[in-house]
Structures are given as structure tokens and as C-alpha cells.
Amino acid sequence: MPSIKTEAERCLKCKKAMCAAHCPVSTDIPRVMELFLNGEIKKAGEVLFSNNPLSAVTSVICPHERNCTGHCVLGKKGEPVRFYTIEEYLSRFYLETMEIPEIQKNGIKVAVAGAGPAGITMSLLLLQKGYDVTMFEAQDDIGGILRYGIPPFRLSRDLLDMYKDIMLRMGLRFRPNTRIGTNIMIENLFPDGYKAVFVSTGTGRPRKLGLIGETLGHVHFAVDYLKSPKAFQLGSRVAVVGAGNVAIDAARTVIRRAHSHVTILHFMGEEDMTANRDEIEMAEIEGVEFVHYAQAVRILENAVRCVRVRRIQNEDGSVRFEEDYSEVFDVPADSVIIAIGQGPGADMYSAGIKLTQRGLFDVNEWGETGTPGVFAAGDIVSGPKTVIEAVAFTKKVLSRMEEYLNQTAKE
Ligand SMILES: Cc1cc2nc3c(=O)[nH]c(=O)nc-3n(C[C@H](O)[C@H](O)[C@H](O)COP(=O)(O)OP(=O)(O)OC[C@H]3O[C@@H](n4cnc5c(N)ncnc54)[C@H](O)[C@@H]3O)c2cc1C
């Protein structure tokens, strides 16, 4: 692996940088590269942080092949520049050495519900502008999926502790173990002086398979398992049902914790899997077995019963999957982990907020919910997506929220 300096020196600093054009937050990659090569690492870190407060996280877990790295011109004929390695170094250095400036408070109170990537981004941006921010979080710490989903071998928790420390030093008031929508409803916040509420409660509720056997004692949902893997006794053979990154994270965590034999089974082929290629590759290296074209139809005490699925190419080139009930087989399993997607929790049905058919917050392009003063962003709006997309939309929502706050402050 070349040093990050060698990597930065390979960058062509394109006038029309395709890497930056394909970054959801339009990171000014040529400028950061130039500052880094001039030795101005603090300034480079500041440029990154002010554009994307979570750059220390996204540099580690973004799907780079879809964004910056995947569009580097050098990648057309050879090795693309891995900007994220430089970004990770600069962002971490910036957080570690960050001095909090004196912030002029404006006396305007804002409530943030949910301390995941969207909530952290909004809080950091508001705090720097002098707002009084109170963050309500159902869990006992900040991070959302970054802390209670993505395994520590992919994302170090000390980054989240640094973010918490920075926000507290900027004046954040944090209410852990407090679920909005139970004792405190959104509408209870305004009488206490909050001028706006930002909802970023994510999609933490797992989707069900809807099969017989799903409530048995050896069956678990991946997002529940990933929250605290040590709480689970899984046995020596574990079957994970699903084809996305969550399935892969669960499988790789099981391998590390329980030293079990892990099988991922799903109804599609390898080429159709939604998980990132490099994650699939790592799971294979670590010994995860894949059973493709298997549709789970029932969960038994010691196996997942499946039927074979046929992949059929339609005349128009599209693909469909058909179950073939003449081929039934069992994948042995002492435990089963279900990872077929997530949706929003049911606790936010208040304040007259309009929801979509999927139960997501129905907002306009600026994150306005239709209930005055209530804004939303992140997975609760988009459905399960990525951290960088949550950051990008939160930034957009902030601009409209500030317009609203400036207006209501005058009234
Ligand atoms: C296992 C897994 C792996 C992933 N890997 C990646 C990856 O590698 N790269 C990537 O970019 N994305 C990844 N994602 C997706 C990414 O984590 C999400 O898109 C992102 O976390 C969404 O941020 P958010 O702030 O909207 O929601 P969340 O991160 O879900 O945070 C929501 C927060 O709100 C809290 N909350 C919920 N309800 C309430 C309530 N009623 N009151 C108060 N608080 C509440 C929750 O406890 C949580 O802390 C992954 C997702 C999962 C599940």
C-alpha cells in the first residue's frame, strides 16, 4: 500500500474533477489535495469538516467505488487515486486537534430527535452557528447505526466518542435513553421554548420474512443482533437470510464472535446482491458460505427450509426470479439471522406528521414535514440509504430551517 503522500501526488487535480462531481456532498477534492501536499493539514481538515462534519466517518465507510474513487480518471486505465485514505487521515487529525472557538449564542432553542449521522450533522452545524441544541436519543449514546449497527472492525467507536466530546464542548445538551413519541411527544417540545424540531430517527425496525417459525427462540433480526452481539448464543451453524450489507455485517460479526460456520442464503444470484463487492469478498475470505437462488419458505428448529429460485431473463433484458417448488432443500442452522431490510419505528405518529405508505416522513425537497417547525432528514425520510446521503440532505434541510428560525425569531 503506497503512503498517503504518494497517493496524493498521483492526483492529477483535474479542472473538472469527476471525483468531486460524484461526491454527494461535493467535497472539493483538488483543493484538499493541494493543501495536503503544501503541508497545510489543519486547513485541509477544516475544509473537509466545514463541508461534511462527518468526513472522519464517511472517509472510512462510504461506498467509495460508487462515489469519488469510482470516478477518478486514473481508474479508466489503471489504479484510481484513493482519496478517502487521505481524507481519513486529515479528518481524524482535525478532530483530534480541534479547538472549539468561542461561540456567540443566539438564544434560539432547537430539539434534535435521534443521534445518528443526520442528527449529529444537524447538531454540529447548529451548535457552530450559536443555537441551543438539545438532542433526544432512544439509546444510551450517540451514533445511531454507526454505534449500534456497523461492526467495530469496520468503524472504530473512538471516532464517535470524539464527536460526542466536541458537541458537548460546543454546548450540546444530551438526553440519552429518551424516546420521543412515548412520554415526550413532538408537540410537547414547542411549549418548552423549542422553536424547531429536527427528526432523524432512522429506520431501526427490521422487516419480517412473514414465515412460519420466525418467532422461534433461535431466530433473530440482524439489526437487533448487531446492537449487542455478545447478548446472543448462536450455536455452531448460523444461517443469515439476506443479500445486502447488513447481512454481510451480521455474518462477519458472527464469524468473529462465535467462530461458527456461517451461511448467507438469498433468492438472487451473486451478481444481483445489493451488498458492496469488497464486503462480499471479505466475507468470502473470512469463510462465509453463500447459497444463492434459495428462497426461504419456513424456519425449522434446526434449519431453514428453502426452495430453488430460477433467474429468468425477460425479452426486454430485465430479469425476474421464479420459485421452483419441485426443488426443496434445507440449510442447516442452530440459529437464523434475518437481514432483509429495515423500516421506521411506529413511535413517531404524532404532531399530525404526514407519513408515506412505507411509514417514512413525507417531506418536501427541503425536509419540511407540513407541520410548522418540524423538519426531518436521514433514513426516516429516504428509507435505508447511506451516511453520506444523510449528511447531504441534512445540510440542505438546515438552510430552510434557518430561514424558518430567522422568521419565527422576529415574530
Ligand atoms: C448494519 C448496517 C451497516 C451499514 N453500513 C453502512 C456503510 O458501510 N456505509 C454507509 O454509508 N451506510 C451504511 N449503512 C446505512 C447508514 O448507517 C444509514 O444510512 C445512516 O445511519 C442513517 O442515518 P440516520 O441518522 O438517518 O439514522 P440512524 O443511524 O438509524 O440513527 C437514528 C437514531 O435515532 C434514534 N431513535 C430512533 N427512534 C427514536 C425516537 N423515537 N426518539 C429518539 N431517538 C430515536 C436511534 O436510536 C438512532 O440512534 C448501514 C446500515 C446498517 C443497518
Looking at the structure, tell me whether residues 289 and 255 fall in a common domain. yes
Distance 245 CA to ligand 1 centre (A): 13
Does 104 fall in a domain?
no
Is any atom of ligand 1 closer than 6 Å to the C-beta of 223?
A: yes
Domain count, the chain: 3
Mark 260-278 as b/e (b = at least 16 C-beta within 10 Å): bbbbbbbbbeeeebebbee
Q: How far is the CA of 33 from the centre of ligand 1 (A)?
A: 30
Q: Is residue 102 part of a domain?
A: no
Residue of 145, 147, 221 with the most ligand 1 atoms within 8 Å of its CB, for mutation: 145
One domain for residues 181 and 83? no
Pick the last residue of a domain from 338, 356, 388.
338
CATH (domain of 143): 3.50.50.60
| Cα separations in angstroms, 45 against 57, 87, 88, 92, 165 | 13, 8, 9, 8, 18
Q: What is the pTM of this model?
A: 0.95
CA dihedral 93, 94, 95, 100 (to 10 degrees): 140
- List, for residues 114-132, the tens digit of each pLDDT value: 999 999 999 999 999 999 9
Using CA atoms in the order 159, 179, 128, 103, what is the torsion angle rounded to 10 degrees? -110
* Nearest CA, atom 4, ligand 1: 150
Instruction: Tell me which of 87, 201, 207 to substitute to probe ligand 1's pocket, judged by most ligand atoms within 8 Å of the beta carbon.
Output: 201
Output the pLDDT for position 182: 87
Instruction: Specify whether 220 is located in the same domain as 331.
Output: yes
Asked if pLDDT for residue 410 goes beyond 70, the answer is no
Residues 6+ apart with CB under 8 A from 387: 54, 57, 58, 61, 62, 117, 146
Mean pLDDT of 167-171: 97
66 pLDDT band, cuts 50/70/90, is confident
In a domain? residue 103: no
Dihedral angle, C-alpha 197, 202, 205, 210, nearest 10 °: 120
Q: 215-271 pLDDT, tens per residue?
A: 999 999 999 999 999 999 999 999 999 989 999 999 999 999 877 899 999 999 988
Segment 77-86 shows an average pLDDT of: 93
Shared-domain flag, residues 296 and 306: yes
What percent of the chain shows pLDDT beyond 90? 84
- Residue ranges in 53-205 assigned as alpha helix (H): 55-61, 83-97, 117-128, 145-148, 157-169, 186-189
169 pLDDT exceeds 80?
yes
Residue 9 lies in a domain: yes
Q: Does 84 lie in the same domain as 27?
A: yes
Which whole number is the average pLDDT over 175-199? Answer: 94
- Provide the residue type at 267 as one letter: F
| 185 within some domain | yes
pLDDT over threshold 70, residue 351 = no
Residue with cell 462465535: 258
Q: Which residues in 367-398 are b (16+ Cβ under 10 Å) and which e?
A: bbbebebbbbbbbbbbebebbbbbbbbbbebb
Tell me: do 196 and 210 sit in the same domain. Answer: no
Among the candidates 308, 338, 368, a domain finishes at: 338
pLDDT in tens, 315-334: 898 889 999 999 999 999 99
Residue 259: per-residue pLDDT:
76
Give dist(CA 195, CA 374) in Å, integer.
9
Q: What is the pLDDT of residues 9-53, one digit of tens each?
A: 999 988 899 999 999 999 999 999 999 999 999 999 999 999 999
- Same-domain status, 187 and 295: no
Cell numbers for 251, please give them: 455474518
pLDDT of residue 137: 97
Neighbouring-strand partners of residue 279: none
- Ligand 1 and 136: CB distance under 6 A: yes
Average pLDDT, the chain: 94
Q: List the grid coordinates of 292.
A: 444463492
CA of 225 to the centre of ligand 1 (A): 15
Contact 251 CB / ligand 1 (< 6 Å): no
User: Are 119 and 171 part of one and the same domain?
Assistant: yes
Is 209 a pocket residue for ligand 1 (Cβ < 6 Å)? no
Helices 29-37 and 41-51: angle between axes, nearest 10 degrees = 160
Distance CA 299, CA 217 (A): 11
In this structure, the residue with its CA closest to atom 48 of ligand 1 is 144
User: How far apart (Å, rounded) are the C-alpha atoms in residues 334 and 132?
Assistant: 50
Q: What is the CATH number of the domain that holds 60?
A: 1.10.1060.10
Residue 2, pLDDT score: 74
Looking at 322, 338, 354, the residue that finishes a domain is: 338
184 band by pLDDT with thresholds 50, 70 and 90: very high
Same domain, yes or no, for 137 and 199?
yes
Quote the domain boundaries for residue 401: 109-204+344-410
**One domain for residues 382 and 358:** yes
What are the cell numbers at 98? 480541534
